[in-house]
Amino acid sequence: MSCVDVQLADSEATRAWGARLAACCGPGLLVFLSGELGAGKTTLVRGLLRALGHTGAVKSPTYTLIESYQPGDFPVHHLDLYRLADAEELEWLGYRDLLTPDALCLIEWPQHGAGILPSADLHLTLWHQPEGRRLRIEGSTEKARAVLRRLQKHY
């Protein structure tokens, strides 16, 4: 498994890392985002979507569960599974229709879909730190290793 660890000073640094990630990611990638409430998962996604060209609002999908965007050449689906009572609810949401080779799929709180969701290509974890946040990006698939190699060139 390959990994990148970075310290993030504030929300702006978190958005900037989302933009770096956007420069290295593309369609067909499944990304899990983990971390406690308020750790910066949606902030990172906002940076990513802005860098891909999205100009509208980027809402947290906490209540809608799914927000889909078409910022450029491929769709981006942002899911938040925090409110799922059972992983089986993913079937009712039609999640399989979102996990396509032509889309980038970002899933917050993936542990709520355990046993149903496939393995992620990339797993991003954010932690609160006394001075900002810490971000770890891990991946074990060939797609993930390619993203991590590109990321390491960008920082």
Cα distances (Å, whole numbers) of residue 25 to 52, 61, 116, 122, 139: 10, 21, 24, 10, 13
State residue 2's pLDDT score. 82
State residue 61's pLDDT score. 76
Q: Is the pLDDT score of 33 beyond 90?
A: yes
How far is Cα of residue 149 from the mean position of the Cα atoms in its chain? 18
Confidence of residue 155 (pLDDT cuts 50, 70, 90): low
State residue 56's pLDDT score. 86
State residue 90's pLDDT score. 87
pLDDT per position as a tens digit, 72-127: 899 999 999 998 888 888 888 888 899 999 999 999 999 999 999 999 999 999 99
Q: Where are the domains of the chain?
A: 2-153
Cβ proximity of 13 and 19 under 8 Å: no
State residue 107's pLDDT score. 96
State residue 23's pLDDT score. 92
Q: Taking the CA atoms of the chain, what radius of gyration do you get in angstroms?
A: 14
What CATH code is assigned to 2-153? 3.40.50.300
Q: Is the pLDDT score of 1 beyond 60?
A: no
